[in-house]
Structure 1
């Protein structure tokens, strides 16, 4: 299928899902027991692209790993900026089906509401996982040529990312003297809770929340294996 046709089809689906996004909590934060990090990695072999999705589940209180699953397969959807979810969802769904434990919340290495059409991977995937989601990006996705404001150099400092008078996400400094990350609601969660949860999952080993960092590390392991 030609790219223009794919973009038309993908855009239609994103726009249909957007009214169903709720940037408010559908859970009680003190009831959260398990949280999961999700990340993907890709590589090419003989002209074909393959990928792996790794999901790492940790105990929200102790931060101990309680389950790890992954999926693997050939990637058939081309990379199109702004439509990454359609490339990644088949592997995400395949990995999630292998979970024997059910996380209360999923954190993605990628964007959620901070997206051209407010439908980044964390937001889009929520409809298939049926759980609240958070987007955690290492780099900034510039939308409508709007830059972010650098937060103060202290742990927990943040600045809202405002585009067309709407808050899309936050630039969050999780660690002093380390560059910020870019967080956004995925779905069924508000931005204040998103910020609190991300900060509660950061330790001295990384600026990323623990489950996202562990999922990222796991993708490197699986890529080497395959």
Structure 2
């Protein structure tokens, strides 16, 4: 069963990968709003459930513009490398609840930094039709390649290079705090992604504000729904 699913999912990812463009379709000065996207899961009565929370913030002030969430039973099995297929239905449902679409989506997860360059931020872009960025709290190790720790200064980074290709970036957003892992989703380049992430950092967290707020929201909603 899983072999057939993996073959089907792989074919879809290969088809989408051919359309990925790691170049800017929007200028930083044009960005007015950014949506942070995160998901959380829980089990109940032998079934898996999930919620997707989206928090849209003003890019300049970081003030919250809108919050929405979706939830439901998860029917796609967990298969490493193919998480997007499990998460997409809830993401699309949550996006449909937004009263105004943001200029860019920032995911709590990876984009191009993925075994097949198809992390959730990249995969979801084709359904959102907006530039996307992946921001991960922990490192996804690919082909036994470790990341190089950046210098201990805010804004320092090292590129994650695998087989002579840049997959993403290890970024120090706050001094004396663990780095995060930034990668392009789609329709944006890595330098611009890095700048946008750094512009969304405040003193409360190493994570950019949209992702941090979405993460907090998923914990809150999951707690409410799983009771």
Under TM normalisation by the shorter chain, which class is it? over 0.9
| Per-residue CA distance 1:145-188 (angstroms, 9 max, x = gap) | 00000000000000000000000000000000001000000000
**Aligned ranges 1:113-124 → 2 under 5 Å:** 113-124=112-123
Shift of 1:28: 1.4
Q: Map of 1:1-226 to 2, 5 A cutoff?
A: 2-226=1-225
Q: Partners of 1:224 and 1:181 in 2: how far apart?
A: 26
After TM superposition, the score normalised by the length of structure 1 is 0.99
> TM (normalized to structure 2)?
0.99
Deviation at 1:102, TM superposition (A): 1.1
Unaligned runs of 5+ in 1: none
Tell me the SS of whatever aligns to 2:84: helix
Gap regions ≥5 residues in structure 2? none
Secondary structure (helix, strand or coil) at the match of 1:86 reads helix
Deviations 1:76-130 (A, max 9, x none): 0011100000000000000000000110000000000000010100000000000
- Residue by residue over 1:167-219, the C-alpha shift from the partner in whole angstroms, topping out at 9 and shown as x without a partner, is 00000000000010000000000000000000000101000000000000000
Provide the secondary structure at the position in 2 that maps to 1:213: helix
- The CA RMSD measured in Å over matched residues stands at 0.4
